[in-house]
């Protein structure tokens, strides 16, 4: 049985008297334990809504979501769901709870009722992983945009969730920070954690094994990065190719075919092969 | 004329507490009207702190020694603050900080209304601004700006700023959170606004491709100090230095380096994908000529494939000829490599690490 099962799920936001908005529409999708999935699509296509459905923050208006067999609508198990599905929100300001950074990161593990030394171990690990150890005694509210994002990621890492959902968690990071965080993600994937990375960065999406694309609340494309990037639906989903792949395509249109390119490395190799 | 003149600006957060942090350290910066300046620097380098001085959100702490003059006005002067904010349109790093009204319509109308524009002009501007950022007026006008998706919020925040038609546009990571199509549209829009409405643009960005494609000047911060200031082409040619300040290269420059490792040498002054494409096409063209094939590149594949065996032992990649003449002689890059060394990064006197960037 897949670890995450989304079965015919819809979600409706009530807007005002008599007006509502269906943000997710009859979505069916399953994700196996240990998968590394990128979730992408136009602004407003339903990605963040889906993320909040997955960790039980929202309940499906229709259909059902099972996490390791537990329904997210099961109020008695909600604590279990939250513990298993950790989420880094799109706006890190929504996420800080304590004043000191280390307390903020410790908040989750403390709520799990873990022993003191285990909490300390986890906080150390998480702060280290995002490169914020030296800031641990600092005020969590008084950070730059990218620093806040790092602390938010650390807070979720310290929970050691089975499923990690990152909602545009790298959007404010500098290139080095982005690489660091993606390095941590890859390590977590190697350890068997299921990762769902919501991103508008196509190079980052290409790092995942599977890319799921939403469009107006529905599933539009689901496949490997190279399948998705060669899909005829790509443009209608508001997406583009990663820069190197886009250039390879332009060169092909000029008669120079360097083959399928998803990474910069494969671009360079393709060019070199042709020139040899 | 100078759109911005910053002298001697330092800024300390939480002075006298354990959180004390020197966020800006003696910044001197003038920005010519009509220029497109990209402000880059690693996380925490001081970019947001610096730009918040431009519309008086943060005031200089040391009034005696520092000054921030924007559009001829002292940004710390309370009397002109209101008009200053009409002239300096600022899009914050997190749009949530910017949104406040209970409907999208009211939010976007706030600026133009405050400027005392006639009601019909206000509503015209609101409609136009929303359409410009890709939000359907009828669909979004009555929505609450807080109940929108991340990218939609950002679009509303941007609409609110462009509806004021400010002379100076200050954008802190404006495309973060936009989908790829929206991002491309917004970048094109910024370029267009610069031509038609807001001649001076200051863009804070971690995306070096955007910086390379848009800016005519790059100012790099590290630990609150300006460590490089020059044309993007010059600044990005200092490879080791860019790494040293915790940044990355534009994709095109990174590809140039990757190709070089494989023995294909292209100009280090290539920074955009368009330039890289031209350079590669010209290599392939030359190659085709050398082989006595004048049929154009459409034939190149066939030719290379056919010659596969013959080529196997030839280390052709090394010979693959060098430089893209066009990028070198390009109008927009008048500086020779020699001069760029001194020019691209700021003078050594100013900061220990610049100038000799390559050695760091
Ligand atoms: N709190 C809310 N109340 C009402 N409608 C909402 C709310 N949050 C989101 N929506 C609407 O639901 C739809 C899906 O929003 P969602 O935030 O899931 O999109 P997204 O794919 O995450 O977009 P983005 O890339 O911009 O973050 C959008 O049309 C949005 O306007
Ligand atoms: N309110 C505050 N109180 C104390 N320190 C702060 C505050 N805001 C920012 N800082 C610190 O000042 C420094 C500069 O922050 P700033 O927000 O200007 O950086 P930035 O270059 O915009 O970074 P980013 O790319 O992450 O947005 C950082 O080290 C940050 O931790
Ligand atoms: Mg979202
Ligand atoms: Mg910032």
Which pLDDT score, from 0 to 100, does residue B81 have?
Answer: 92
The C-alpha of B146 sits at a distance from chain A's nearest C-alpha, in angstroms, of 11
* B39 in A contact zone (CB under 8 Å): no
Query: What is residue A203's three-state secondary structure?
Result: helix
Architecture of the A4-240 domain? 3-Layer(aba) Sandwich (3.40)
Average pLDDT of the residues of chain B: 83
Which pLDDT score, from 0 to 100, does residue B328 have?
Answer: 39
The mean pLDDT value for B40-44 works out to 93
Measured between beta carbons, which residues in chain B are less than 8 angstroms from residue A143?
44
**B187's tokens:** 């970048």
Measured between beta carbons, which residues in chain B are less than 8 angstroms from residue A246?
273
**B105 has a pLDDT exceeding 90:** yes
The answer to whether the CB atoms of A142 and B13 lie below 8 A apart is yes
The answer to whether the CB atoms of B44 and A144 lie below 8 A apart is yes
Return the half-sphere exposure (C-beta side, CA atoms, 13 A cut-off) of residue B95: 28
Q: Quote ipTM for the complex.
A: 0.90
pLDDT single digits (tens) B248-268: 999 999 999 999 999 999 999
- For residues B157 and B95, which has the higher predicted lDDT (pLDDT)? B157
Which pLDDT score, from 0 to 100, does residue B333 have?
Answer: 34
Domains plus CATH for chain B? 2-230 (3.40.50.300), 251-341 (no CATH)
pTM of the model: 0.86
* A271 in B contact zone (CB under 8 Å): yes
The mean pLDDT value for B23-31 works out to 97
**A81's tokens:** 């769901």
Ligand in nearest proximity to the CA of B11: 2
The answer to whether B57 and B68 have CB atoms below 8 angstroms apart is no
pLDDT single digits (tens) B136-191: 999 999 999 999 999 999 999 999 999 999 999 999 999 999 999 999 999 999 99
Q: Which residue owns the Cα nearest ligand 1 atom 7?
A: B147
The C-alpha of A237 sits at a distance from chain B's nearest C-alpha, in angstroms, of 9
pLDDT single digits (tens) B54-88: 999 999 999 889 999 999 999 999 999 999 999 99
Q: What is the distance of C-alpha B319 from the center of its chain?
A: 36
Beta-strand runs (E) in chain B: 2-13, 21-32, 36-41, 67-70, 73-74, 88-91, 168-172, 200-204, 217-222, 225-230
Q: Pick the closest to residue B153 from B144, B163, B162, B164 (CA basis).
A: B144
Quick one: which H or E segment has residue B153? helix B150-162
Beta-strand runs (E) in A132-172: 163-167
The mean pLDDT value for A67-82 works out to 94
**A186 has a pLDDT exceeding 70:** yes
Sheet holding A19-31, edge to edge: A19-31, A4-16, A62-67, A70-71
Percentages helix, strand, coil for chain B (3-state, rounded to 5) are 45, 20, 40
- For residues B288 and B301, which has the higher predicted lDDT (pLDDT)? B288
Which pLDDT score, from 0 to 100, does residue B298 have?
Answer: 44
**B354 has a pLDDT exceeding 50:** no
**B356 has a pLDDT exceeding 70:** no
Say which of A42, A174, A176 has its CB closest to residue B179.
Answer: A42
Residue extents of the structural domains in chain A: 4-240
- For residues B329 and B55, which has the higher predicted lDDT (pLDDT)? B55
**Cα B69 from Cα A206, distance rounded (Å):** 45
Lowest mean pLDDT among A124-128, B205-209, B290-294, B328-332: B328-332
* B285 in A contact zone (CB under 8 Å): no
Which residues have beta carbons under 5 A from ligand 4 (an ion)? A 144-145; B 48, 93
pLDDT single digits (tens) A77-135: 998 999 899 999 877 665 566 678 999 999 988 988 899 999 999 999 999 988 889 98
Beta-strand runs (E) in A17-114: 19-31, 36-41, 62-67, 70-71, 85-88
Which pLDDT score, from 0 to 100, does residue A173 have?
Answer: 86
Say which of A143, A175, A274 has its CB closest to residue B206.
Answer: A175
**B336 has a pLDDT exceeding 70:** no
């Amino acid at each position: 049985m897949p670890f995450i099962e989304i079965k015919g799920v819809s979600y409706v936001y009530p807007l005002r008297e008599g007006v509502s908005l269906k943000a997710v529409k009859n979505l069916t999708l399953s994700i196996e334990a240990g998968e590394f999935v990128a979730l992408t699509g136009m602004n407003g296509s339903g990605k963040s809504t889906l993320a909040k459905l997955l960790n039980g923050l929202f309940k499906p208006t229709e259909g059902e979501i099972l996490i390791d067999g537990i329904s997210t609508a099961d109020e008695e198990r909600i604590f279990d769901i939250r513990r298993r599905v950790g989420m880094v929100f799109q706006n890190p300001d929504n996420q800080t709870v304590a004043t000191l950074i280390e307390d903020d990161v410790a908040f989750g593990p403390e709520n799990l009722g873990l022993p003191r030394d285990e909490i300390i171990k986890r906080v150390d690990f998480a702060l280290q992983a995002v490169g914020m150890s030296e800031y641990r005694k600092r005020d969590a509210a008084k950070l730059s945009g990218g620093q806040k994002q790092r602390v938010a990621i650390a807070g979720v890492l310290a929970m050691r969730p089975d499923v990690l959902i990152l909602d545009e968690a790298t959007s404010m990071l500098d290139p080095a920070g982005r690489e660091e965080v993606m390095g941590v993600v890859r390590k977590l994937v190697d350890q068997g954690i299921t990762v769902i990375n919501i991103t508008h960065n196509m190079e980052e999406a290409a790092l995942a094994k599977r890319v799921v694309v939403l469009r107006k609340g529905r599933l539009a494309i689901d496949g490997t990065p190279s399948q998705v990037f060669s899909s005829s639906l790509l443009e209608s989903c508001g997406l583009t190719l990663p820069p190197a792949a886009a250039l390879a395509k332009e060169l092909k249109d000029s008669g120079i075919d360097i083959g399928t390119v998803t990474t910069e490395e494969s671009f360079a190799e393709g060019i070199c092969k042709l020139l040899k | 004329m100078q759109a911005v003149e910053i002298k001697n600006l330092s800024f300390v957060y939480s002075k006298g507490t354990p959180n004390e942090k020197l966020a800006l350290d003696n910044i001197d910066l003038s920005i010519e009207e009509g220029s497109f300046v990209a402000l880059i620097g690693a996380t925490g380098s001081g970019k947001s702190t610096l730009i918040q001085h431009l519309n008086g959100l943060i005031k200089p702490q040391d009034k005696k020694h520092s000054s921030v003059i924007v559009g001829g006005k002292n940004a710390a002067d309370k009397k002109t603050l209101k008009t200053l904010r009409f002239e300096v349109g600022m899009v914050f790093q997190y749009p949530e900080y910017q949104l406040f009204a209970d409907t999208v319509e009211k939010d976007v109308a706030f600026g133009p209304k405050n400027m005392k524009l006639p009601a019909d002009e206000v509503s015209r501007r609101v409609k136009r601004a929303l359409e410009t950022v890709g939000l359907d007026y009828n669909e979004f006008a009555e929505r609450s700006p807080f109940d929108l998706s991340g990218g939609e919020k950002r679009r509303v925040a941007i609409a609110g700023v462009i509806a004021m038609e400010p002379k100076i546009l200050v954008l802190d990571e404006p495309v973060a959170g936009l989908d790829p199509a929206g991002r491309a549209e917004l970048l094109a829009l910024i370029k267009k606004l610069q031509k038609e409405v807001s001649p001076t643009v200051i863009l804070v960005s971690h995306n070096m491709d955007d910086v390379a494609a848009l800016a005519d000047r790059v100012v790099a911060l590290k630990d609150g100090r300006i460590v490089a200031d020059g044309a993007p082409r010059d600044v990005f040619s200092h490879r080791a230095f860019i790494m040293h300040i915790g940044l990355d290269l534009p994709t095109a420059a990174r590809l140039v380096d990757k190709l070089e490792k494989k023995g294909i040498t292209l100009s280090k002054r290539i920074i955009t994908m368009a330039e890289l494409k031209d350079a590669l096409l010209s290599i392939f063209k030359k190659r085709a000529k050398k082989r006595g094939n004048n049929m154009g590149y459409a034939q190149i594949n066939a030719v290379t494939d056919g010659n596969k065996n013959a080529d196997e032992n030839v280390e052709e990649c090394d010979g693959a000829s060098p430089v893209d003449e066009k990028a070198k002689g390009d109008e927009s890059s008048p500086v020779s490599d020699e001069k760029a060394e001194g020019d691209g990064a700021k003078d050594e006197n100013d900061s220990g690490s610049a100038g000799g960037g390559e050695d760091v």
